Structure 1
Amino acid sequence: MRQPPAFSLDKQAIKVWQIHGGITFGLLLVFHLIFSYIVVRFEWSYVFIVITSVLIVLIFIIQTWLIPKIRYRRFRYEISDEEIYIQRGIIIVTRTLVPMTRIQHVDTTQGPVLKRYKLMTVTISTAATTHEIPALSEGEADGLRNEIAVLARVTDDE
């Protein structure tokens, strides 16, 4: 069996994913407050509020503390002259090989949370799929994008 890829993401990825989990929690909380108002307004059983409150707290703990740490530990990548090797997953670990000859273009993206932590995501597009290497430092992401673009161009010309 092949060894796991050598490189991991920037450590700040955990904070970024925790912030995304917190945003999800905030949206769930708004819906929970609306639901609670409806329960009180129509004099339904308060058991509904208790059950949904417990579920939302569990989702918050899992989404902001557990999943980002596991995701960080499991996500690995490696670039060679002939392929990109990506490992990802939380419960089910997926290992993907993307041949350089199949790559059509490479992008870097940076949303507001990634920008705050000076991170970028590298997106690799083939004819059929798109693959991402999330949360790399800006310099590393730019270098990786350029390296993949050069390697993909060289293998196309041969």
Structure 2
Amino acid sequence: MRLDPKHKISRKGLTVWRLYGIFEMLGILAVACVVSYLTIRNDWPQWIHAIGITLTLLSLIFSVIIFPKVRWERWRYEVREQEIEVKHGLFIVKRTIIPMVRVQHVDTTQGPILKKYDLSNIYISTAATIHTIPALAMNEADELRARISDLARVAEEDV
């Protein structure tokens, strides 16, 4: 069996994923507040109120604390001359090998939160799908994008 890819994504990616978890949790909190309001206003049973609080707390624990950490620890990638290997997953760990000859183009993107933390996502497009390497330091993402592009060009010339 092959060794795991050796490169990890930036540690700042953990912070960004936790922020995304907070945004998701705020949506759940809004729903829980509406349910709590309706429970009090309409004299519904108190267990409905308790379920809303419990779900909000579980959401906080899982989407902000546990899931981002596990996701960050499992994310690995490696760019070789003939292929790109990506390993990721939360419950099911997925390993993908992308042959360089299949790479059509490589993009980097940066939204406002990634920009604040000087991070960028890399999108590797093939004919069939788009693969992502998330939360890389901006300079590392630019270098990796250029390297993949060069290797894909060389692989295409060899075919």
Please report the TM-score for the alignment, with normalisation by the length of structure 2: 0.96
Give the structure 1 partner of residue 16 of structure 2: 16
Cα displacement (A) at 1:119: 0.3
Query: Partner amino acid for 1:48?
Result: I
Give the structure 1 partner of residue 68 of structure 2: 68
Cα displacement (A) at 1:49: 1.1
Cα displacement (A) at 1:121: 0.4
Report the Cα distance in structure 2 between the residues aligned to 1:14 and 1:141, rounded to whole angstroms.
17
* Segment of structure 1 superposing worse, 29-38 or 82-91: 29-38
Query: Partner amino acid for 1:43?
Result: D
Count of matched residue positions in the alignment of Structure 1 and Structure 2:
158
* 2:8 pairs with 1:3: no
Which residues in structure 2 correspond to 1:119-158 (within 5 Å)? 119-158=119-158
SS of 2:104's equivalent in the other structure is: strand
* Segment of structure 1 superposing worse, 38-47 or 50-59: 38-47
Query: Partner amino acid for 2:62?
Result: I
Give the structure 2 partner of residue 48 of structure 1: 48
Give the structure 2 partner of residue 37 of structure 1: 37
SS of 2:30's equivalent in the other structure is: helix
Q: For residues 51-110 of structure 1, what are the alpha-carbon distances to aligned partners after superposition, in whole Å with 9 as ceiling and x for unaligned?
A: 121011011111111111111110000001110000001121111000011111110011
Give the structure 1 partner of residue 105 of structure 2: 105
Report the Cα distance in structure 1 between the residues aligned to 2:141 and 2:49, rounded to whole angstroms.
45
Report the Cα distance in structure 2 between the residues aligned to 1:35 and 1:124, rounded to whole angstroms.
43
Cα displacement (A) at 1:24: 0.7
Consecutive aligned runs of 4 or more in structure 1 exceeding 3 Å deviation: none
Contact 2:87 2:95 in 1 (8 A): yes
Cα displacement (A) at 1:39: 2.1
* Segment of structure 1 superposing worse, 37-46 or 54-63: 37-46
Q: For residues 109-134 of structure 1, what are the alpha-carbon distances to aligned partners after superposition, in whole Å with 9 as ceiling and x for unaligned?
A: 11111111000000101111111000
Report the Cα distance in structure 2 between the residues aligned to 1:33 and 1:51, rounded to whole angstroms.
11
SS of 1:44's equivalent in the other structure is: coil
Report the Cα distance in structure 2 between the residues aligned to 1:48 and 1:128, rounded to whole angstroms.
46
- Structure 2 residues without counterparts, runs of 5 or longer: none
